[in-house]
Amino acid sequence: MKVLISAILLALLTGCGSPPPAANAAPPVSNAPLYKKELGTGRVAGVVKFEGAAPKRTPLEVKGDPRCSALHSGPVLSESLIVNDGRVQNAIVYVKSGWERWSYPTPDGEVVVDQKHCRYTPHVVTVQTGQTIAFTNSDDLSHNVHGLPRKNPPFNFSQDENRRRSTYVFTQQEVGVRVQCDVHKWMSAFVGAFAHPFHAVTNEKGEFAIQGLLPGEYELEVWHECHIAPARVTVPQSVKVEVKDKETAGAEFVLRLVK
């Protein structure tokens, strides 16, 4: 009986079997030499374009919490597909292969996703495995930060005026992890976690730049949240680029609406 009670109490206290947030460690890379940023002088830069007329951004239903509604005078537009002059914002471009030749130290800095005016800012971020991602709350109201990874342990943090910061560490590579607020359903963000530092999110002009690459051939891929099933856009196949010292290789991706 004591064992049973202890097991129940332990389960309640620990979350019963759910793995704790990941330890601060990069995934193992077998005997590969340590990557040093100063050695990587190559660069890949490019743009993610959208072919055809992009759908209009739909207004979100910012209701259910009057304090959130009060923070917005006009309509709050969906960030799921932002196309400016035929260029796609918030796409993740990353090195899919070619990075495995080195092992990568965990970056010191952390990536911050803030909750401000009942939105996640930025909407899409990338991190390196082992690197801390911090979710902060600039709003004076309650949010929860609910992550839905598949390969990494899921997470859920309550936040309010007194608990304004929660951290998480991805241990496995995983692209497009949805993070949502269950209190305010319109709030969502996406995270790409990689075992290397060669990833970027496109800016409002659809541009990206990946720096610090050592010479060699790399395979680049693009991810966009509208490609998640049921897909609304198609993403192109990966492209190969040849990177040379102190040079910038170009790459371009074109997204299309699913017909």
Binders of another protein in range 72-101 (CB under 8 A): 78, 80
Q: Which residue has the tokens 């005997």?
A: 31
- Interface residue with another protein among 150, 165, 244, 256 (CB under 8 A) is 150
Binders of another protein in range 218-257 (CB under 8 A): 228-230, 232
- Interface residue with another protein among 103, 121, 144, 172 (CB under 8 A) is 144
Closer to another protein at the Cβ: 49 or 184? 184
Element of type H or E holding 2: helix 2-14
Q: Check binding of 154 to another protein (CB under 8 A).
A: yes
Nearest to 200 by CA among 92, 63, 59, 79: 92
Residue 44 burial (CB count, 10 A): 24
Which residues lie closer than 8 Å to 237 by C-beta, 6 or more apart? none
Instruction: Tell me the number of residues near another protein by CB under 8 A.
Output: 43
Q: 51 phi and psi, to 5 degrees? A: -95, 130
Q: Check binding of 184 to another protein (CB under 8 A).
A: yes
Q: Check binding of 19 to another protein (CB under 8 A).
A: no
- Interface residue with another protein among 182, 204, 245, 252 (CB under 8 A) is 182
Q: What residues pair up with 250 in beta bridges, in sequence order?
A: 45
- 55 neighbors 257 (Cβ within 8 angstroms): yes
**Which tokens go with 202?**
């496109």
Q: Check binding of 183 to another protein (CB under 8 A).
A: yes
Q: Check binding of 167 to another protein (CB under 8 A).
A: no
Q: Check binding of 12 to another protein (CB under 8 A).
A: yes
Which residues lie closer than 8 Å to 252 by C-beta, 6 or more apart? 46, 47, 48, 49, 239
Give the shortest CB-140-to-another protein separation in angstroms.
Answer: 10
Q: Check binding of 17 to another protein (CB under 8 A).
A: yes
Stretch that binds another protein, among 16-24, 96-104, 106-114, 200-208 (CB under 8 A): 16-24
Q: Where are the alpha helices (DSSP H) in 23-108?
A: 66-69
- What 3-state DSSP class applies to 226? helix
Q: Check binding of 23 to another protein (CB under 8 A).
A: no
**Which tokens go with 241?**
């680029």
- Interface residue with another protein among 87, 146, 196, 199 (CB under 8 A) is 146
CA distance 138 to 117: 8
Q: What is the dihedral of CA 114, 115, 116, 117, to 10 degrees?
A: 160
Give the shortest CB-137-to-another protein separation in angstroms.
Answer: 13
- Interface residue with another protein among 10, 52, 56, 58 (CB under 8 A) is 58
Give the shortest CB-220-to-another protein separation in angstroms.
Answer: 20
Q: Point out which residues bind another protein (CB under 8 A).
A: 8, 11-12, 14-18, 58, 60-61, 63-67, 78, 80, 141-142, 144, 146, 148, 150, 154-158, 160, 176, 178, 182-188, 228-230, 232
